[in-house]
Amino acid sequence: MDNNLMTGVTLGKKIKAKEISVKEALDSYYKKIKEVDLQINSYITLCEEEAYQRAEEVQEKINKGELASPLAGVPYAAKDVLCTKGIRTTCASKILGDFKPTFSATAIELLDNEGAILIGKTNMDEFAMGSTTETSYYGPTLNPHDKERVPGGSSGGSAAAVAAGECAFALGSDTGGSIRQPASYCGIVGIKPTYGTVSRYGLIAYGSSLDQIGPLSNSVEDAAIILDAISAKDEKDSTSVGRDEYGFAKALADDVKGLKIGIPSDYFGEGLNKEVADVILKAVDVLRQNGAIVEEFDLSLVKYAIPTYYIIASAEASSNLSRFDGVKYGFRSDDFEGLHDMYKKTRSEGFGAEVKRRIMLGSFVLSSGYYDAYYLKALRAKALIKEAFNRAFAKYDVIVAPGSPTTAPKLGESLKDPIQMYLSDIYTVSVNLAGLPGITIPVGKDGKGLPVGMQLIGDCYNEKTILRAAYNYERTVEETKCQNNMKQL
Amino acid sequence: MSKQYETVIGLEVHVELATKTKIFCGCSTEFGGAPNTHTCPVCTGMPGSLPVLNKQVVDYALAIAIATQCEVTPVCKFDRKNYFYPDNPQNYQISQLYLPIARNGFVEIETNSGIKKVRIHEMHMEEDAGKLIHDEWDDTSLVDFNRSGVPLVEIVSEPDMRSADEVLAYMEKLRLIIQYLGASDCKLQEGSMRADVNLSVREVGSPSFGTRTEMKNLNSFKAIARAIEAERQRQIEIIEEGGEVIQETRRWDDNKEYSYAMRSKEDAKDYRYFPEPDLVPIVIGEDWIERIRSAQPELRTEKLMRYKKEFDIPEYDAKILTESKHMADLFEATTAICHKPKKVSNWLMVETFRLMKETGTECEELIFSPSHLADLINLAENKTINSTVAKEVFEKIFREDIDPNIYVKEMGLATVNDEEAIEKAAKQAISENPKSVEDYKNGKEKAIGFLVGQTMKTLKGQGNPGIVKEVLYSLLNN
């Protein structure tokens, strides 16, 4: 089998029709990984043994007709921030060492129930902190479209693996754009659902009030089907919210007639690369031609999103990451005297520069005397940003934004100037601050042949609306349907 | 010492709640157990785990809040208290700072100086930490997370107490309220009730408070009283010598009866509190409060009043009996069966307490059933057994909860009322003890006692003492 960027749905159908066995599907992806992963470094850990064992069980169930899910037998990868029982989970950090969780994340278990098969854990920015996958302890992942460039981040390993055909789909996590931005850079589909849609149980927390798990895939239909599988109220996550009905895939209608689309003029002015803007506005025209009503408007408060996000996310991270102390698991410095020295050396040696930067920033903004000035103010700004979106959604069904101000930058460019890197999250972080769903889909390429992603943002719990718009675009513009020419690999 | 000083004390009381499971996971809260057997990813702070609030914790906290006249916070939240220590698996404790569950309550205490109100500043819910075990032998420390995540409420008083007496009365009051509510067993020794004492002194009449210290590691009422006295004297000495009391946390060593400084205000930790993002706010509506209020059991003060009215027992007895909810329950259940409140009270006040003292048993550990005590009282009242036998049988009930009816029958302990048998035994005693008979006849009334004893001995102690005496008198006098 040549998986040739086959969608998960197509592969699932072939498996169900016995055109391909589950084992053959695995063989194909592992073969591809062996061909390309030495170059692009999408994976940190492969779990072949577990995957082939699982493949036998799944194949048997499929044969007996006990497993009818569209994802049955479909191989997928998970960002290494998701706990997988008995399989090394590193968060791309030295500090976790060879840590093997004793349980799997709820999202992983739910995919397991569907018969999807985990083939490996993908590379990422250390603890999901970064926008390029360069802060990984396991080395950077390269963009399959141009190996001199980054795949984006922090779910860069997942995005690159999907784009390079190293898995049928992948799970990522998105705290400030970590699914949507790498999906844009790699020319695939990535969706961050409404906060609370997917259980965070087993997701190693970065910014707990912002983190969401979501799929990265080769089609909008795949994204909807995967989202259907992983969305559920989870008793183990108090912040997960149940819904009467999910049915994301069922709601995919190839129709945007009368759909009201708002274009925030503040997103398409200064700071946005001209080529990227042109490609996206051309894509919006496609939706307009299909019957959508498109209007420009002022979203306001846009410039506050970045500082607000970095204060809240870093504050939560500084606390979330304090459990990595060398006491119970993972890395511990060999050379120390007494408890405090052990903490200090373990954390100094175990965390990378970007993680330390954010822990320090977060500890600072929570310190007595600064809490009101920074953290509390950021919480207020967050509420105002949410209100600005509420006003917008009173008028529009979908808001269009870029996935990122530019296409994928070259390796090493971003880390030189962290502030510049932070600023590149401008179009994605507000969505997390407001808890909204957002999807990026590939809508074309710039002059260098690098993918451009368009982001569609919906109101809370309105994933169906943005999925519908994304689906309509995908069906209309056949050539951008993720059938990317990957000749260089 | 020429100046007069007043001691000002506020208390932070931690109470371990009696839930079956921990505050944020399903692990057992049972005391003891092999290390790290009551643990899971949540209470050991494993990466990716998330807390889920045990609603029973809120129920208990609300019950205490209502019983201490607190205002309940309609929307309360948890916060994270960040600090590094190996007994704290996440290196933060989930507690409440900004919006605690209740505020502004009070309890009334009674001491020799009269009745007064001690105000409660606030009450919050939090998780307990694990336990560190230091192995001196190979210089290592081990962590046991069994206690990690056991629910606590912390009750913070205003600085309203002025003496150790008042502090003990306040703690006793809290203990009784909380035990009556069933919210905790409040055992100081086992650590299910702990208190930190904030204490300062000032000259009598001074309008402002002095600098306070916080005393930790107080494991008994006696330790609290000793620590208060020692700290009061320490502070007065410093002031008298022209020095200044430093605001600091001190640790009490009850064996040495001495405290030493743990940390001063300058190196006080910055806990970097912020709202816990993994838990949603708790909305406590009127209906929830009402549900707890209506299920509230009769508390001690009310019970005391009812006992005096309903049972006609001495006030002293009523006070002692209601000092433990378990004892009060025993009293009421037994009385409900035999309808002899005074007798029940007597058995509990005299024999039960005596045996408890002798065997080192706590009220909560009493095992005998009310029906067996009631049966025993009936056996004694209808003179089936005499009082000596009754005491023996009670001891069996106390220790093994035997059924007295069966036991008396099987052991043949019923009182001998048969006059013929008694006369036979009495005659034997008279013939075997001519000296006593002579003494009696010479006017020594007391000699009859010895003869009664001898007769009883023949009757294996089961003779009806009234009949024995009567028979002896008639034999001797005729």
Note the pLDDT tens digit of each residue in B53-100: 999 999 999 999 999 999 999 999 999 999 999 999 999 999 999 999
Q: What is the per-residue pLDDT for A4? A: 64
CATH number, domain containing residue A195: 3.90.1300.10
B188 and B85 belong to one structural domain: yes
* Residue A193 falls inside a structural domain: yes
- Domain end (from B411, B446, B465): B411
Cβ contact, residue pair A319, B82, below 8 Å: yes
Q: What is the nearest CA distance from B45 to chain A, expressed in angstroms?
A: 7
Number of structural domains chain A divides into: 1
Measuring CA to CA, which residue among A271, A272, A260 is closest to residue A296? A260
Residue B478, Cβ neighbours under 10 Å: how many?
A: 5
Residue A262: beta bridge partners? Answer: A295, A399
CA dist A480 and A482 (Å) reads: 5
For A202, the closest chain B residue by CA position comes to B48
Distances (CA, A) of A183 to A377, A451, A454, B39, B455: 32, 9, 10, 39, 104
Query: Chain A contact for B353, CB < 8 A?
Result: no
Please indicate, yes or no, whether residues B389 and B443 belong to a single structural domain of this protein.
no
In this structure, is residue A186 part of a structural domain? yes
What is the least distance, in Å, from the CA of B29 to any CA of chain A? Answer: 19
* Ramachandran sector of residue A417 (left: φ over 0; alpha: ψ -120 to 50; beta: rest): beta
Question: 3-class secondary structure for A394-460?
Answer: HHCCEEEEECCCCCCCECCCCCCCHHHHHHCCCCCHHHHHCCCCEEEEEEEECCCCCEEEEEEEECC
Inter-chain CB pairs, A–B, below 8 Å: 98
- CA B307 vs. chain centroid, Å, equals 20
* Distance of alpha carbon A227 from alpha carbon A215, whole angstroms: 7
Separation of alpha carbons A386 and A407, rounded Å: 27
B217 and B305 part of one domain: no
Identify how many contiguous H helices and E strands chain A contains and give both numbers. 15, 11
- CA angle A288-A292-A296, nearest 5°? 75
Compute mean pLDDT per 10 residues along chain B, 478 residues long, and list them.
Answer: 87 97 97 93 97 98 97 97 95 97 96 94 97 85 95 98 95 94 90 94 92 92 94 95 92 92 76 96 97 92 88 88 90 93 92 92 88 92 84 92 88 75 85 85 83 84 81 82
Q: Are residues B383 and B473 in the same domain?
A: no
Boundary (domain end) residue, out of B265, B289, B313: B289
Instruction: Please give the positions of A annotated as active site.
Output: 79, 154, 178
What is the number of structural domains in chain B? 3
B47 and A368 within 8 Å at the Cβ level: the answer is no
Q: Please tell me the distance in Å from B111's CA to the nearest CA on chain A.
A: 41
- State whether B84 and B163 are in the same domain: yes
- Retrieve residue B34's tokens: 């092999």
Tell me the ipTM for this assembly. Answer: 0.95
**Cα separation of A171 and B389, whole Å?**
79
- Nearest CB to A328 within list B53, B89, B279: B89
pLDDT in the model for residue A488: 36
End-to-end C-alpha distance for chain A, whole angstroms: 17
The predicted pLDDT at position A2 comes to 55
For testing contact with chain B, the best of A235, A323, A372 (most B CBs within 10 A): A323
Does residue B384 come out as left (phi exceeding 0), alpha (psi in the -120 to 50 range) or beta? alpha
Among B46, B82, B143, whose Cβ lies nearest the Cβ of A322?
B82
> Looking at residue A196, what is its pLDDT?
97
Residue A388: what pLDDT? 97
Please check whether residue A242 lies inside any domain of the structure. yes
CB burial of B155-174 (b: ≥16 within 10 Å; e: otherwise) equals bbbebbbebbebbbbbbebb
Q: Which two tokens mark A119?
A: 């083939």
A127 to chain B: nearest residue by CA?
A: B47
- Inter-chain residue contact B52 with A323, CB threshold 8 Å: no
Cα separation of the two ends of chain B: 79
Rounded CA gap, A358 and A317, in Å? 7
Q: CB distance A368–B80 less than 8 Å?
A: no
Q: How far apart are CA A428 and CA A180, in angstroms?
A: 8
| Same domain membership, residue B160 and residue B53 | yes
Contact flag A319-B80 (C-beta cutoff 8 Å)? yes
Q: Are residues B119 and B193 in the same domain?
A: yes
Q: Which residues of chain B have a CB within 8 Å of the CB of A318?
A: 82, 272
The separation between CA B116 and the C-alpha centre of its own chain, rounded to angstroms, equals: 22
**Per the structure block, which two tokens stand in for A374?**
């920074």
Domain, as residue range, for A196:
8-252
Same domain as B433, residue B381: no
What is the pTM (predicted TM-score) of this model? 0.88
Whether A206 maps to a domain, the answer reads yes
- Whether A185 is covered by a domain: the verdict is yes
Domain assignment of residue A13, yes or no? yes
Residue B117 sits in the same domain as residue B199: yes
Q: Do B270 and A239 touch (CB under 8 A)?
A: no
Q: How far is B38 from chain A (nearest CA, A)?
A: 16
Is the Cβ pair B52, A102 closer than 8 Å?
Answer: no
d(C-alpha B72, C-alpha B287), whole Å: 12
**Token pair for A297:** 């408007």
- The string of pLDDT tens digits covering residues B311-356 is 988 888 998 999 888 899 999 999 999 999 999 999 999 999 999 9
* Residues in Cβ contact with A167 at an 8 Å cutoff, skipping those fewer than 6 apart: A29, A75, A76, A77, A119, A120, A161
Query: Pairing mode, if any, of strands A169-174 and A75-79?
Result: parallel
Residue B348 C-alpha, separation from nearest chain A C-alpha, in angstroms: 48
Residues 6+ apart with CB under 8 A from B49: A103, A201, A202, B40, B41, B42
CATH of the domain at B438: 1.10.10.410
Same domain, B404 and B450: no
Q: How far apart are CA B148 and CA A69, in angstroms?
A: 41
State which residues of chain A have pLDDT below 70: 1-4, 478-489
- Preferred mutation among B54, B84, B85, B98 to probe A, highest tally of A CBs within 10 A: B84
Residue B15 host element (H or E) = strand B5-16
Report CB contact under 8 Å: B86, A237. no
Residues written for chain B: 478
What is the distance between the alpha carbons of residues B363 and B60, in angstroms, rounded to a whole number?
22
Domain that holds residue B53: 5-289
Residues 6+ apart with CB under 8 A from A233: A199, A240, A241, A242, A243
Give the CA count within 13 Å in the CB-facing half-sphere of B306: 10
For the stretch B411-437, what's the b/e string if a residue is b when 16 or more beta carbons lie within 10 angstroms of its beta carbon? Answer: eebbbbeeeeebbebbeebbeebeebb
Contact of B78 with B66, CB cutoff 8 Å: no
Alpha-carbon distances of B35 from B20, B32, B146, rounded to whole Å: 18, 8, 6
Residue A432 in any domain: the answer is no
Q: How far apart are CA A11 and CA B253, in angstroms?
A: 71
Domain end point (choices B237, B258, B289): B289
Answer whether residue A346 is part of any domain.
no
B280 touches chain A (CB under 8 A): yes
Are B318 and B195 contained in the same domain?
Answer: no
Pair B198, B235 in one domain? yes
